[in-house]
Amino acid sequence: MRGLALAMCRSSSTVRTTPQNILVPASGIATNEGLKSPRQFGADLGAALDRLLGHPTRVARLIGAVTGDEVRAGLTEAARYGAVVHASGPLDHPEHPGADLRSPLLVRLGAQDDRVYAREWPGPVAFLVVTDSTSRSLAVFRRTVSRHGALFAAVRSTDPLVLAAVETAALDAGVHLTENLADDVPADPASAVADLPGADARFVTAQFRVVRSRWHAPALNPAGAPVTGSGEPVGA
C-alpha cells in the first residue's frame, strides 16, 4: 500500500507519471490479514495516502504543483463518475505558500466504465476499477494498453500463472512491467524507461520494440549460494 501510495503521489502536474488505473477483482484480494474486498482495499490505500502526506516536508518532495486549469477541471470532472474513495484536497508547501498542491484523487469504477478510465487524465487522478475476476482485469489491461498506450504497468500476485499471464500481456501490448515490487511501483516512473529513447513500444519504432519486466530474483554470492537480490530480465 505504501509503495502504491508513493507512486500515486509522484504527479508532475499535466504529465501522466502516476498509476491511473488500479484493477482489483470483485472477489477481493487474499492477504496475511485475511480477504480484502475492493472497498477495504480502497480504504487502506486512502489511509496510506493520508499517512504519506501527513508531513509538509514530505509533501514538498512528492507532489508537483498544479499549473494548469486542465488539471483542476479534470479533478472536478473525474470525481463525478463514481464513488470517491479518496478526495483530492489542497496541500501546504512549507516554502511556497502560494503553490497549488493537490492530494491524489481516487474514484471507484466498474469494468464497464471504460469510457472514463480508458482516456488519459492529467494530474493526480486515479481509478480503482473493480472487475469480475483476475481474468477480466487481465483483459481490461491488455485492451486499454494496446489501444491507448502506457508508460509502465505493475502487478502484484502470489500466483505464478497470473504473473506469467500479465508478463505476456505486457510484452504483447508493449509496456514496461514491474512484478511484486513494493516501494518501486516504480519508485521513479521515469526509471521504467530510463534506457530507452521513448516511453512504450510505440515510441521507439514500428520495426522493433524493447520492453522490460522487473521482479525480485535470487542472486548468487561468490561462493555460489543464493542471496536476496533483484533481477531485471529483458523481453524484446
Mapping DSSP onto H, E and C, the string for 22-59 reads: EEEECCCEEECCEEECHHHHHHHHHHHHHHHCCCHHHH
Q: How far apart are CA 215 and CA 230, in angstroms?
A: 6
Q: Does 23 share its domain with 107?
A: yes
Is the residue at 139 inside a domain? no
Q: Is residue 92 part of a domain?
A: yes
Do both 176 and 74 map to the same domain?
no
| Cβ atoms of residues 178 and 215 within 8 Å | yes
Residues 44 and 104 in one domain: yes
List average pLDDT for each run of 10 residues in the chain, which is 236 residues long: 87 68 94 92 95 86 84 93 95 87 95 94 92 94 90 88 93 87 54 44 50 64 50 34
Answer yes or no: do 127 and 155 share one domain: no
Residue 44 in contact with residue 4, Cβ under 8 Å? no
The 8-class DSSP code of residue 204 comes to T
* 157 and 123 in a common domain: no
Identify the pLDDT of residue 231. 40
Q: Is residue 146 part of a domain?
A: no
Residue 211 in domain: yes
Q: Are residues 99 and 206 part of one domain?
A: no
Is the domain of 125 the same as that of 157? no
Distance CA 163, CA 157 (A): 7
8 and 116, same domain (yes or no) = yes
Number of domains in the chain: 2
> Which pLDDT does position 220 carry in this prediction?
59
Residue 27, number of CB atoms within 10 A of its CB: 14
Identify the CATH number of the domain in which residue 6 sits.
3.40.309.10
pLDDT at 59: 85
Task: With respect to residue 138, please indicate whether it lies within any of the assigned structural domains.
Answer: no
| pLDDT at site 213 | 66
Both 114 and 11 in a single domain? Answer: yes
46, 111: one domain: yes
Q: Is the dihedral of CA 172, 173, 174, 178 positive or negative?
A: negative
| 116 and 8 inside one domain | yes
**Domain membership flag for residue 215:** yes
Q: What's the domain range around 69?
A: 1-132
Residue 3 shares a structural domain with residue 95: yes
Answer yes or no: is 142 within a domain: no
